[in-house]
Structures are given as C-alpha cells and as structure tokens.
A and B are shown apart, each in its own frame.
Chain A
C-alpha cells in the first residue's frame, strides 16, 4: 500500500512528540535529573504543531483500507486539537501539584490523548473510531488522579474510569449489534443502509448504544454525571484539558454520524431532547455552585446541549456551526481555566470567594476572566456570541424551534452564574484577613491576553475560521 506521508503531517508530528517524551521518560531518569524541569521544550514543539496542523488543512484522501479519511472536517478538528493542546501544555507547564520527576510521563500521556483525538477526527470506520477513542481516554484515565496525594483526585479518577469503562462496554455492545445486522463497519456503507424500526431494529438499537459512548465523552445529559466530580477532583491543569479537548473528539464523530440524521427522524428528535435537557439541567445545576471548576463542569454539560442544535439541523451550515462552536468552546473554556490556574499557585481548587478583589490584585487577569465568562454567556462581541448565533440560525425553522427557544431561555439562566464570576472579580473586595495573592506574572498575563484576544477576534471577524468549518460541512453533506 502506498500512502503519501504528507497527508498525515499533524499526526506524524504528534507521534514525534510522543516518541521524544517517551525516550525522555525512559532514559532521562538519572538521580540528578529528577530535580530538573526537562519538559520546557514542549510548548515550543506544540506551537510548531499548530503550524503543522495549519499546513495540513488542505489534505484530502481516504487511506488505510478506507478506514481513515482526511477531509475538511478532520483537518479542521486536528487544527483545533493542536491549538487546544498547545494551550493545555502551556497551562500545565508550572503545575504545582505534579512532582518534577512525573512531568515527562504526564506530558507523554497528555500528548497520547491528543493523538487519539486527532485519529478520531479522521476515523470513518467503527472499529477505528473505537480504538482512537480508547487511545485518548486511557491516557486521561491515568492523568486524572495525578494530583499529589489528594484523595478527591483518586475518587475522581476511579469515577472517570468506572463511568468510562461502562460507557465503553455499552458502545462495544452496540457495535456488535450494528455489525450483526448491517454486516459492515464502514460509515460510508452504513449510511446507505436502512435505519428504521421496521427494517433494522437491531441496527437502530446498536447505533443508539454506540452513540451513548460519545454522549459520555461530550457529557451530554443523561451521561454527564462524571463531569463536575472529575473537574473538581482533578488538578486544575488536567481539568483544563479534560474539559475541553475530548469534547472536540466527541463532536467530530457526532458530526460524521449526524450527516445521516434528517430532521423529523425519531433518532434526531431524541438527540434534540437530550440537548434541551442537557442545557437546562447543566445551567440549573451550575447556578448554586461555589467551586469555579465545578461550575465550569456543569456549564460544559449545558454547552454540549447547545452543540446538538447544529447536529439536528440537517444542514451543512448546522454541522459547520457545531464545529465552529466546539472550537470556540475550547478557546473560551481554556481562557477561564487559564485564569483559574494562575490564581491557584499551590494548586488548590478556586472558589468564587477566591476571585474577590481580583481586579485590584491583577486587573489584567480579571479582564481576561471577564472576556472568557462573557463569551461563555454568549455576549457580543465575543466568539461565544457568534457561535451561538450560527447555531440558532441553523436550527431555526428545521422543526426544532422549541430547541432554539429553550437555548435562548437557557442563555438567560446562564447569565446569572457567569456574571457571578465577573461580579466576584470586579465588585467584591477581598477581606482583610485573606492572603493577598501575587498573581501578576508576565507569563500569565501574556498568554491570558492571547487567549482573550483570540476569543474577541473570533467574535468580531469569524468568517475566516468559519469558512473552513463551512467547507468541511459542505463536503460532508453536499
């Protein structure tokens, strides 16, 4: 088989990163090296990774026995993954709860997980999908409990593994039904098959079970129970990764599957109902949270609900909107997590009260946090608004007007807790007894500023990025 290696530029680059880290973690174990931070090169390497993924944006092809498709969608998501990976790595550089000697292993697992997500973006065959998903998940299972000797982190790790394993088992079980009834595991062939209760009851059951695995990754109601606990338990930096990038993987597969969904089908309606429940439940639960990470956990549940609006529309613009929104979601969530990680130099969880007086101690970080929070609300001129506008526009008049109205009402509910973040940062003064944090570092301000700039720029000039997403959507659903 002849395969053009230039098609795989982002993946190959990621493999090189993984191999370097692997070598470093095996051979770098001298007693003297235990006290050195040897992973300082990784942010630079992953920054090059963004460029490489940018170069790979135009790759087209169907390779590896037609199980691996390179198209606009996959390349767009690979770009998004490498962008998110860069910020996640940068964010985790000075992780306080991670011993120096574990750093190589930590970043090895992080890179592997990102590699799995990149493969997931290109997989068009059920078993390949399954393998890529597991590659990204297994690495994360090991990362979640890595937070010093914290008992809560272990609890989060166990929860994540158990929930994940159950979801995986259900997915595999569904896969077996699909294979048994439709006799193929290729998405392209599966699309041609009949998918209704009368002709393929087993296939329909199978695909529902298979989807459950992805809903778990996306933390869509009712598969969301792990999200708040895991975010709260794991270290801030790991949470920043776990809350953002795996969603990209889930969304890309759902987009591929939903290219077959037509509005009006019962499966589409079920996804829409899950979406509506997800946003409502996530927002209502977030209202009472005091721990900012937990709040963001519930907010991610509601954002998963918003993304479904694009999936059920059955329009290329809808798929593009879902893709665009997930990229925006990654950026704005990383923006919030960036500030949270900077505010916790010892790695504790950040509560709303810890944000008090942030505008005084570090006005710039307060501004970055406000941009992130307002973007999560969906307030112009941030990227969150544009993403939401595209989603609403694509889902309206497609038979799911009630979903759009639910989303609008949910935006109104969501303002309260996002605004609470801003309110604590800007209007509440720090109590005299509370220790004054020295959070104003040049490093934190510079990259926080870059993230905030990206969120604002995507809100004001969304068309260049949306163009790629739209091309991807059109390719998938001509």
Chain B
C-alpha cells in the first residue's frame, strides 16, 4: 500500500511530539506547541472523512509483520465504531491543552508529554486489529494516566492513582491470559481472523469471563466502579476529561470488539447477568450521585449510571440497543467531558469543587452558567440534545426485548434529571456563597466549550450521519454474534423513524 498511512500517522505523531517537548524551555511555548500539535493531529485525522459509510469491514488497513515467530503483526484498521471514538479522542487533545492552560502550573513539559502519550495510546487502542497490539496500547495508556493523577492530582492523589492502576491492571492480566488462549485456539492474534472462527461453549465461557472482568473494571460496572470516583475527583481537569471521555469507552469498546464477536454464545449466556449489573449501575450511580456534595464526584457517579446504559444496550444484542449504546458512548464523551471542564473552570475561580462554595453563579457568570445549563440538560437527556438520542435508542431497544427491564431502567433517567437539575438550580440561583468579582468565561474558555456545544446540538438534532457511520459495522457485529444461531432482528426501524425525524432520512433497514 502506497497510500498515506492515516492511522499510523495519528498514533506516531503525538509520540514524535513527546520527543520534541523536552527541548522547549519556555512554559508558554510548551503549551503553544502542544496546542499546535493537537491541531495538526486533528488535521491529520481529516483523511478519515474519506471513510466509506456503506462498508461494514475494516478500512484504512495497514499491516506489517511484527514478530513472525508468534504471528504478531502491526495491523491497524478502523470500522464505524472506532472511527467515532478516534474522532472524539482527536478532538479532545487540543481542548485538554486549553483547559489546563492555567490549571497546571508545575512541571508543564511532563504534563503535556503525558497528554500526548495518552492520545497516542488511546488512538492505538481503537485502531489496533491485532490482539497483542491492542493489549500493548491498552496497557501503555495506564502509565501516563497514572502519572496524570499521581503528579498533578488533588490531595488524595496517591491513593487514587494507586487504586486506579491496581484495579485496571489486575483486570487486564486475565485479558492477557484470554488473549493467549485465543491464540492457541484460533492460531492467530489477528482480530478479524479470530472473529471468523467459532469456539466451543466451554472455551467461550471462560474466555468471556476473563475478558469481561477486564472490560467491566474499565467501563466501570457496578461492583468494580469504586476506582472511578476516587480517580475522577483527584485527577486534574484534563485527566478527568480523558478518563471520562475516552478511557471509560474502552471497556465498552472491548465488549463490542471482543466479547460479542468472539464469544457470542457465552455473551448470550451471561447477558441476563450483565443486564442486571447494568441496571444496578444505572440505579446505584444515580442514587449515589444524588447525595454528593462535590461536583466532580457527582459527575463521576453520573458516569457510572451513563455507562450502565451503554452496557445495557450492548447486551440486548439488537440493532437499536447497539446503536443506542454507541450513541451514549459518544455523547457521554462529549457531555461529561464538557461538564468536567466546567467544574475545572469554576475551580480555578473558587478553589473549591463543593457545591455549597459555588452557589448563585447565574448573576455573576452568565456565560458560564449558560454553558453549564446546556451541558447539564444534555447530560440528563433533554430532547433535541445528543444524550437524548442515545438513551432513547437504548430504551426503545430494551422495551422491545424485555419490557420489565426497561421499566427498571426508567427510574435511572428520572434520577439523572433530579441530580442534574438540582445541581444546576443551586449553581445558578442559590444564595451566592463565595462568588465575588470572578471573571466570566475568557476567550480561551469560549473556544473550549463552543465546539462541544455545537456537537451537542448537531448530534441531538441530526443524528443521521452518525448513525449511518455505525450502522454497517453494527450489522456486522450482530451478524458475527449470530453466526452460530440465525435469529431474527426485531424490525424496529419504523418505530424509531417515527420518533426521530433524522433517522428516517437515511431510510436504512436492519
């Protein structure tokens, strides 16, 4: 292939940037050059828009032999799922640099190197088509994230970073064993080739458990979620944003990329349990979020709830469910990322993340509160905004398949509205507690929030393009999932089309 290697460029450009940064002395120049690198990275991602929406297979593939003896290859490629995730990651890098402009004032160079490493590793995870390569990126991401929390974090940063590292790595050691088992069972580490084979149920059973353990910790699902609030609260703003917007998606991505296609029967077998855990995550995350005093903690627990919708959608195994799961993943990345930046913005002014120290901002910081209200409404799934699309699709999927489960998920939506609206009301109209002469949003902050706000409305009002990008891939995933047992997908297209005008335009039928 003599084509321009888009994905390799995206992975290796930030790494090359890491080598340049240590030679820049001036702090401001470090920030500016990282910002420029982030923008160049975004420009490098532009060729991805040549992505052929009608194809279900992997595109932009690159393949070179890596370790011949063990059949490892440097194999990159993306489908609809990874396309969206990569675009989200690329978008976030410049925003992370911008939102740390004032927040981070020690060891600037190392901080920006960690951000670049994170970006490279995250893109690598979403683009890798070789199991070992995937694992390499998956683990490589831990170190910069650990440093982001442990070096630039809050007062409890050591505890939080250690917990984050131990939880995630403990989970992924079993993923390593599963990977080796797949190699010996399937004879290759290549993900597309592994997917084409089928495995005995007994093998699938254990492989699913090993992989699901790793992914469930990463998502995080209910009993394994305790690292998340600690990590979120202690991490610097940029760390929280990357954690919420990209890292959490990797668990769900793992379920979609590995569990469903590789172990379909075991996934079906465990689906009731996974759905139950998802519902538990939704309700538990919602209830705990209700009781939080700390804004970051509140948003962290709301993440647990949102990710519960993702796993719920995935384990329905229907097109609606999967569409919804992916939309929630994407939207959660946009909205929660924005909310974390908002909390960071107010923290720069009040030096407190507690709700009671930040009451009554509406009068003094109207632009800030405007954005806060916008993203809070988006987070609770207000119609016309992005999260609504995802949650609605998941709920339609779940009501079509298990109405009772759907009924159990509805309180989660109500809880989301409750804690988000209460937070917004207190921030906007509460008795002003400590606010005085704080400047409203600066130009830099406007630049951070505007693109995210545009995306909120774009996806909310016209989700057609996004859905069209993921649909062929989702159909493929469902086909792979059903490869042993032919099943009929519920003809739900009409139901959605009547609710979502935008979905009707592309007129696709599952």
A415: Cβ under 8 A from any B Cβ = yes
Given contacts A374-B143, A404-B180, is CB(A463)–CB(B69) below 8 Å?
Answer: yes
A449 interface residue per 8 A CB criterion: no
Chain A residues positioned under 8 Å from B158 (CB to CB):
423, 427-428
Question: A383-395: contact bitstring with B at CB < 8 Å (1 yes, 0 no)?
Answer: 0011011101100
Set of chain A residues within 8 Å of B140, measured between Cβ atoms: 379-381
Assess whether A408 is in contact with B139, with CB atoms less than 8 Å apart.
no
B270 close to chain A: CB less than 8 A: no
Interface string of B175-216 (1 = CB under 8 A from A): 011001101100000000000000000000000000000000
Chain B positions 148-182 with a Cβ under 8 Å from a chain A Cβ: 150-151, 157-158, 161-162, 165-166, 169-170, 173-174, 176-177, 180-181
Nearest CB of A to B133, in Å:
9
Contact of A385 among B136, B142, B180 (CB under 8 A): B136
B137 partner residues in chain A, CB cutoff 8 A: 380
Q: Which of B161, B174, B184 contacts A427 (CB 8 A)?
A: B161
Which residues of A sit under 8 angstroms from B162, Cβ to Cβ?
A: 416, 419, 423
Q: Which residues of B contact A412 (CB under 8 A)?
A: 166, 169-170, 173
Q: Which residues of A contact B438 (CB under 8 A)?
A: none
Size of the chain A interface, CB-CB below 8 angstroms: 36
Proximity string of chain B (72-88) to chain A, C-beta cutoff 8 Å, 1 when within and 0 when not: 00000000000000000
Taking the complex as formed, is A405 at the interface, i.e. its CB lies under 8 A from any CB of chain B? yes
Q: Does A426 lie within 8 Å of B151, measured CB to CB?
A: yes
Partner of A415, one of B151, B161, B166, B174: B166
A-chain residues with CB within 8 Å of residue B184 when the two chains form the complex = 393, 396-397
Contact between chains at A393 and B183 (CB < 8 Å): yes
Question: How far, in whole Å, are A377 and B174 apart by their CA atoms in the complex?
Answer: 14
Bound CA–CA A83/B372 (angstroms): 60
Closest residue of A by beta carbon distance from B142: A379
Cα(A411)–Cα(B151), bound, Å: 24
Inter-chain contact A416/B166, CB cutoff 8 Å:
yes
B67 in contact with A463 (CB, 8 Å): yes
- Docked Cα-Cα span, A381 to B161, in Å, equals 20
* Complex contact B139–A317 (CB within 8 A): no
Contacts of B166 in A (CB 8 A): 412, 415-416, 419
A127 to B87, CA, bound (A): 66
Q: Does B147 contact A (CB under 8 A)?
A: yes
Chain A residue contacts of B147, Cβ below 8 A: 426
User: B69, B143, B146: which contacts A466 (Cβ < 8 A)?
Assistant: B69
> Are B165 and A467 in contact (CB-based, < 8 A)?
no
Q: What are the interface flags for B115-152 relative to A under an 8 Å C-beta threshold, 1 for contact and 0 otherwise? A: 00000000000000000100111011011001100110
A389 x B180 contact (CB < 8 A) = yes
Contact B177 A392 (CB under 8 A): yes
Q: Which residues of B sit under 8 angstroms from A404, Cβ to Cβ?
A: 177, 180
Chain B positions within 8 Å of A96 at CB level: none
Known contacts A392-B176, A393-B184; A427 and B150 CB within 8 A of each other: yes
Assess the A396–B180 pair: CB atoms within 8 A.
yes
Q: Which of A278-333 contact B (CB under 8 A)?
A: 317, 320
A24 to B447, CA, bound (A): 72
Decide if B69 touches A470 in the complex (CB within 8 Å): yes
**CB within 8 Å of B: which A361-390 residues:** 363, 370, 374, 377, 379-381, 385-386, 388-390
A462 and B169 within 8 A (CB):
no
- B69, A393: Cβ atoms closer than 8 Å: no
Q: How far is the CA of A320 from the CA of B67 in the complex (A)?
A: 14
A409 in the interface, Cβ–Cβ < 8 Å?
yes
B33: shortest Cβ distance to chain A, in Å? Answer: 19
Asked whether any CB of chain A lies closer than 8 Å to the CB of B105, the reply is no
Which residue from chain A places its CB closest to the CB of B170 in the assembled complex? A412
Give complex CA distance A252, B66 in Å: 27
In the assembled complex, the CB of A257 is this many whole angstroms from the nearest CB of chain B, namely 24
Given A396-B184, A426-B150: A463 touches B173 (CB 8 Å cut-off): no
B-side contacts of A374, CB under 8 Å: 143
Residues of A within 8 A of B183 (CB): 393, 396
User: In this assembly, does B70 line the interface, its C-beta being within 8 Å of a C-beta of chain A?
Assistant: yes
Q: Which range contains the number of B residues in contact with the other chain?
A: 20 to 34
Question: Are B173's CB and A389's CB within 8 A?
Answer: no
A397 to B68, CA, bound (A): 21
Given contacts A415-B165, A427-B150, A381 and B136 within 8 Å (CB-CB): yes
Q: How far is the CB of A332 from chain B (nearest CB, A)?
A: 15
Question: Contacts A392-B180, A393-B183, A427-B158; is A466 near B173 (CB within 8 Å)?
Answer: no
* CB atoms of A379 and B170 under 8 A apart: no
Interchain nearest-CB distance for A389 vs B (Å): 7
Distance (whole angstroms) from the CB of A325 to the closest CB of chain B: 14
- Which A residue sits closest to B149, measured CB to CB? A427
Task: Kindly state the separation between the CA atoms of A392 and B181 in the bound complex, as whole angstroms.
Answer: 9
Count chain B CB atoms within 10 A of each CB in A419, A426, A466 and give the residue with the most. Answer: A419
Contact A379 B180 (CB under 8 A): no
A8 CB → nearest B CB, Å: 29
Q: A317-B69, A379-B142, A427-B161 are in contact. Are A408 and B177 (CB under 8 A)?
A: yes
Contact indicator B150/A411 (Cβ below 8 Å) = no
Contact B132 A389 (CB under 8 A): yes
What residue in chain A is nearest B135 (Cβ atoms)?
A380
Residues in A with CB closer than 8 Å to B139 are 379-380, 385
Segment 52-100 of A: residues with Cβ below 8 Å from B: none
CB distance from B359 to the nearest CB of A (A): 34
* CB of A378, distance to nearest CB on chain B (Å): 9
How far apart are B118's CB and chain A's nearest CB, in angstroms?
A: 15
Q: Is the CB of A467 within 8 A of B177?
A: no
| B70 partner residues in chain A, CB cutoff 8 A | 317, 389-390, 393
- Give the chain A neighbours of B157 by CB distance below 8 A: 427
Query: Are A405 and B177 within 8 A (Cβ)?
Result: yes
CB neighbours of A320 from chain B (8 A) = 69
Query: Which residue, A320, A389, A409, has most C-beta atoms of chain B within 10 A?
Result: A389
> Which residues of chain A from 450 to 471 have any CB-CB distance to chain B below 8 Å in the complex?
462-463, 466-467, 470
A399 to chain B, nearest CB (A): 12
Closest to A320 in B: B69
A409 CB contacts on chain B under 8 angstroms: 173
Q: Are A415 and B69 in contact (CB under 8 A)?
A: no
CA distance in complex: A466, B70 (Å): 10
CA distance A393 to B137 in the complex (A): 19
Nearest residue, chain B, Cβ from A424? B158
The docked-state distance in angstroms from the alpha carbon of A409 to that of B158 is 23
Q: How far is the CB of A312 from chain B (nearest CB, A)?
A: 15
Nearest B residue to A469, CB-CB: B69
Q: Which residue of A lies closest to B133 (CB)?
A: A380
- Known contacts A374-B143, A389-B132, A426-B151; A408 and B165 CB within 8 A of each other: no
Say which residue of A317, A363, A385, A419 sits within 8 Å of B165 (CB atoms). Answer: A419
Question: Complex Cα distance A412/B169, Å?
Answer: 6
Give complex CA distance A436, B189 in Å: 49
Within 8 A of A (CB), among B271-300: none
Give the residue of A388, A405, A415 whose beta carbon is less than 8 angstroms from that of B170.
A415
| Complex partner residue of A423 from B136, B150, B173, B174, CB under 8 angstroms | B150
A388 to B70 CA separation, bound complex (whole angstroms): 13
Cross-interface CB contact of A389 among B110, B146, B176, cutoff 8 Å: B176
Q: Which residues of B are interface residues toward A (Cβ below 8 A)?
A: 66-70, 110, 132, 135-137, 139-140, 142-143, 146-147, 150-151, 157-158, 161-162, 165-166, 169-170, 173-174, 176-177, 180-181, 183-184
Q: List 24 A-B contacts (CB under 8 A).
A: A379-B140, A379-B142, A379-B143, A380-B137, A381-B140, A389-B180, A392-B177, A392-B180, A396-B180, A396-B183, A397-B181, A409-B173, A411-B173, A411-B176, A412-B166, A412-B170, A415-B170, A419-B146, A419-B166, A426-B150, A426-B151, A428-B158, A466-B69, A470-B69
Given A381-B136, A392-B176, 8 other A-B residues pairs in contact with their CB atoms under 8 A: A370-B143, A392-B177, A397-B184, A404-B180, A408-B174, A423-B161, A426-B151, A463-B68
